[in-house]
Amino acid sequence: MPSGVHIHNVRGQLFEAAERVLLRDGPDALTSRAVTDEANCAKGVLHRHFTDFDGFLAELVHDRIRGIEDRTVTLRAAAGAGDIVDNLADALNDLFEPVTVAAIALITFRDGLRVRLREAGLTGIPLAVQGTVMVAAYLAAERESGRLADDADIETLAPTLVGAGHLLFADRAGAPPQTVAIRKMVATVIAGALPPPRS
């Protein structure tokens, strides 16, 4: 692309290009050259908008985190309605869509990115941590609504659901898990937290 051509929404186009490369070729293929080639722009475009490539990747992760935070608000608002297992299964299916699964692999694969994310105050495995916060917020709301037992251990249930969910979705090369498998896992994990049936 000629250097004089203006690109609208450069950040968005570069993020979308990075996600395509990540999904198609995996974390080890994600380079600044691969991203700018995929976006059909000069390599200098990326470096005009970001300090370096790890800075770009950190912003990509933050963009995904904002999406999870938005989903947290929606999921918490759903408390008290619908089936708890279905609500959680849908939330995990949304959380572990292919780009997020690939981004988690990228975070564990790339040391410089992890350092940059730590400098930004993110702990644990970003994206998985925010997913756990999302699930915990929903479980807390369901406990407040009386649809989970008063003694439901949310601090254990939320990471268990997210960890087990990640294992179901982690095989990038295989087909995504079937809904029945996700529901079975969720139902098994939360079984002890459901209040006893009314007699």
Helix 32-39 to helix 53-77 angle (10° resolution) is 70
What are residue 174's phi and psi, to 5 degrees?
-95, 180
pLDDT digits (tens, 9 = 90+) for 77-133: 999 999 999 999 999 999 999 999 999 999 998 999 999 999 999 999 999 999 999
Q: Which of 138, 135, 144, 152 is nearest to 194 (CA)?
A: 152
User: How sure is the predictor about 7, in pLDDT bands with cuts at 50, 70 and 90?
Assistant: very low
Q: How far apart are CA 139 and CA 39, in angstroms?
A: 40
H-state helical runs in 40-97: 43-49, 53-77, 84-95
Q: How is residue 176 written in tokens?
A: 């995504």
User: How sure is the predictor about 172, in pLDDT bands with cuts at 50, 70 and 90?
Assistant: low
| 118 conformational bin, left if phi > 0, alpha if psi -120 to 50, beta if neither | alpha
Domains and CATH numbers, the chain: 9-49 (1.10.10.60), 61-193 (1.10.357)
